[in-house]
Every structure is written in structure tokens, then in C-alpha cells.
Structure 1
């Protein structure tokens, strides 16, 4: 997986070509010292309160530091078996879908862990308590899972990553969009561009938490729209510049939100898959994950 340490800035050309190697070296040194400083700071696990040891974590994620969750708790909280990409039912071998999902081919949902059996409370804390300590490590595990499934040929990597948008009113109230933060991390880890303007939420829907399946579907019905005023779309006469995208959210529960967005995309002949930090399975599956 790609990991970008620095990028040249367009303004660099104004200082002369002879300065570019020096600027690049300075950026590398700054990144190195920043990383070393973060490694030296107290870093304890949110779950067991033990000091987090790196133990070669950078071999999998170069120049990234393990924070928020120690490796022992991390391993215990991730999926312990392969799961169906449609419903998260445990599988005995690596494959796309279980038998039931094979018949209807639902949207593929990629997650590194179960919401109820894994790190659900940490994921909820990102949204509701602004506790971001676990965001990086869970995003890294999600990126690893995505790359793993792509290497096995079970998914295709998309052209672009699209975070589930918040309505402007909700964004102003909360102050941030957790899906956007996750999508930004995945964009950097996987070297796939993010487009946060392609889809917007045109209805200020009520929060999904606490609603049953039918209420969630009614709540999200036609809540999203494509931004036809975005420059790529205008240039193409309102035709999409994408054929395959990934929809990013923090949690997929009933799948109502991502399915509504997938339906909108499908109407414009765009394939999609869903990526999330945790998957909330149906009650009958929770004990078996």
C-alpha cells in the first residue's frame, strides 16, 4: 500500500530549481522527527491501558505509528473468521458471499471487525464523543482488509472514494463528518483519490440511531443526489466520470444509507461497494462472528 511522505508544492518552482532537493530533504527530516516525537510520547491502549508497543507495526504500515489500541487487543477485536461480504455471516473459507447472498448479490460491505463483537464502542466514540484515538488504527486495519480482498480477487479497487455526506445543517451542528475523516485516511493509505463533492445529501434527515429497518428506509429515501454542477460532470454533460466507486461510512448497520447511495449510483451506471470501520450484523449472526 502506498504511503506518501511528502509532495512537491506548486510554489516550489518560484524559489528556483536548485532549492527543490533541499526542500525535499527538509520535508523528509521534518516528517522523520515528527514520527520519532510521536513514538516517544505516552501511548496507552484504550481497552487494557497497557503501553502500546510497536513490535514491527511499521513493516505493514510504513512510517505509521500504532496508537489507540495495542496489538493484543487489536487482534482479539478483529474478525476471527472469514465473513460474507453481503451479510457478514461467518464462512469456513474465503469467498465473496454465503449461499443466501449469492442468490441476490447485495452490495459488498468491507469491514475489519464486527460492531457488536469488536470495537463498536470506540467507533461510536468517534462520532458522538469526538474521541479520535482509534480512528487511525481502525482505518489502517480497514485498508489492510481492502487490499487483502483485492489481492485475492474478491473485490476490485475503485476509481474513487466517496464519504457518506452530511447535510449542511448536521455538519454545522456536529462540526465534522467522521466518514470524511475515514475516507481521507483510506485515500492516503491506498493511494486512491477521494471525491467529497460528487454526492450530496439533499434532505436533512433525522439520525438513523434508534430507528427500525422500515423507518431507516423511509428516512433515507431519496436523501442523496449527484452534484451535477461539479466541474467534471458539467464538462461531460452530466455524465459521470466514474464507473466504480467505494462508499465510506463509519458503521454499516442495516445498510440503508449505503444502499440508497448505491441505488442512486446504479441509476447512472456506476458500480459501488461499501467500506466501513465496523459492520453491525443481524442479531441472529452476532454470536457466531
Structure 2
């Protein structure tokens, strides 16, 4: 229960954290390591993730895989051949060096201060979409219990929180459940990844009434094969969602 003095204590603690961060523990650029006031210095931002370095790349509207600049199609051949459960994907940049370090440091280094930056970059990419249809709610990809206990946080949720504020869209972090712990997709052979995610997600009964006729935005850090977000999108569609958009910070280019 919050007391009358709690807001002042919260403000004082926030001020102390900021002072410690800027005085005793000066910030370093997450990519080049030079001292700077932000988590990413201006030169790295301009060189690696400035406009034209991923956000404006010609991509498939449905899965966000890169398309050749000479292609006029809106969808890639894979999506035309076998349409996924989700309807659109927006990504901030390709998952490639050196910017992949931003996600690796967040996910495996617990550098949570990177989450607002990644949400900002994803928001910029969303704003650059010519025909952006805003979802009615955001749902981060949930982690399994063992993975959450091991890591201590869900990187998708950490990104979804500031993104929801920027988009002014309600965040529903408990909408989806990971009902079956699965192996990390990166450790699974490509031909086994779809089966690894089979029946892994379910919609929480207390939130199922939100989905009929709803446009859901699924938030994640990295999209590689797309099987994870596709499985969650299928669960949302099965519960009545009419549209699912994937909002992912980085997209692994096809090999």
C-alpha cells in the first residue's frame, strides 16, 4: 500500500539513481564504449542506425524480410506461397553486427537501460510506415517460467513498456501465456523450429474477452525464422483477433 510520502521517496530515489549514473558511473556508448550522456553516442547512432540503415529498407509488408530495391511487389515469395498467421511486420533494423550488440547486451547482459532506446528506434520505424494501422493493444512475447526465472526479466516486455507509451496503446503483458517451456529457437535445427513452438502459447482466460474483433500488436526483440511470433499470432487469431501486427526491433536477414 502506497503512503502519502511514497511519491516523494520515489522521486528522491530516481534522482539518486540519475546522479549515480552520471557522476559515479558515467555512461558509455553501448557500441563503441566512449563516454557519453546517452546509452548510444551520436556518431554511432548516425553511422549504424540512422535513417536509411534499415528503417527505410524495402521490405515484405508481411514478414519484413528484405526485398530487392528493383522489386515492386509488396510481399516476398515465401509469404505469397504460405501466408503466416500474422498480417504485417515492422522492424527497426537488420539483426547484424554491430547493432546486434544492443540486443545481446539487453538480453544476456541485463543492460535494461537499452530497452527504451530500442523502443524509440522501433517507434521511429513505425512512424515511417506509409499506411500504419495502429493496434488496439500490445502483447509482448512471453517467456517460459524457467527462462524467466533464469534471466530475471522478459526483454520483450522491457521493450514493450516504453513502446506502448510512445504509441499510446494499452499494454497487456498477461494476455498471452507460454504454457510449454521450449528450447531456445537458436539451438534448434531450422527444420525443427516450427514443431518446437507447437502449442507453446495460449491466451489467458481472464483476458480472452479482449481479443474478438481486435487488432493485436505482438512485441519482440528479434525475429529470425518467425515461428515464435507466428505461433503466438495463431493463438490470438484462434481467440478471435482479426489482425495481428508484429513489432520487432531487429529482423534476421535470410541466409
Interval of TM-score (by shorter of Structure 1 and Structure 2): 0.7 to 0.9
Which runs of 5 or more residues in structure 2 are unaligned?
none
Deviations 1:43-69 (A, max 9, x none): 33122233436xxxxxxxxxxxxx221
Q: Report the TM-score when normalising by structure 1.
A: 0.71
CA contact (8 A) 1:201 1:224 kept: yes
Q: Which residue of 1 aligns with 2:251?
A: 279
Q: Which residue of 2 aligns with 1:121?
A: 101
What is the CA RMSD across the aligned residues, in angstroms? Answer: 3.4
Indicate yes or no: 2:215 matched with 1:250.
Answer: no
Distance change in 2, residues 1:95/1:246 (3 Å)? farther
What SS is found at the alignment partner of 1:140?
Answer: helix
Mapping of residues 202-281 of structure 1, within 5 Å: 202-228=179-205, 230=206, 232-233=207-208, 236=209, 240=211, 243-270=214-241, 271-281=243-253
How far has the Cα of 1:119 moved from its partner? 1.3
Indicate yes or no: 2:186 matched with 1:179.
Answer: no
What SS is found at the alignment partner of 2:166?
Answer: helix
Indicate yes or no: 2:37 matched with 1:47.
Answer: no
Aligned residues: 241
Judge which range, 109-118 or 199-208, deviates more: 109-118
- Within the candidate set 92, 113, 116, 1:112 is matched to 92
CA contact (8 A) 1:77 1:113 kept: no
Q: Report the TM-score when normalising by structure 2.
A: 0.79
Deviations 1:4-24 (A, max 9, x none): xxxxxx988xxxxxxxxxxx9
Look at both structures and tell me which one has the larger radius of gyration over its CA atoms.
1
How far has the Cα of 1:39 moved from its partner? 9.1
Distance in structure 2 (CA, Å) of the matches to 1:169 and 1:244: 30
What SS is found at the alignment partner of 2:187?
Answer: coil
